[in-house]
Amino acid sequence: MKSGPLLDVKIPLQVVLGETEVSVMALSTIKEGTIVELKSFAGEPVDLVAAGEKIAKGEVVIIDENFGIRITKVLK
């Protein structure tokens, strides 16, 4: 891979496990220990988002005691 100043720029990378909607009242009562149910199922692919754009899908893996993502599909 080439190197250069532009390739060294860092961008935010996020993994989206799922989404849901909650009322403002429910949001105002969230505290430690609250469980928020998502509109996705365990084992479903997760989205990998870079700078706000969905770039890939993957599956959650555990490496030692850390979570990671195994890329299963790169999106165009």
pLDDT score at 64: 92
pLDDT score at 17: 86
pLDDT score at 14: 93
Domains and CATH numbers, the chain: 6-74 (2.30.330.10)
Q: Cα separations (Å) of 48 from 1, 3, 56, 72, 74? A: 22, 24, 5, 10, 9
φ, ψ for residue 31, nearest 5 deg: -145, 175
Task: Express each pLDDT in 4-51 by its tens digit.
Answer: 788 888 999 999 988 899 999 999 999 999 999 888 887 889 999 999
pLDDT score at 1: 61
Over residues 57-76, mean pLDDT: 92
pLDDT score at 42: 77
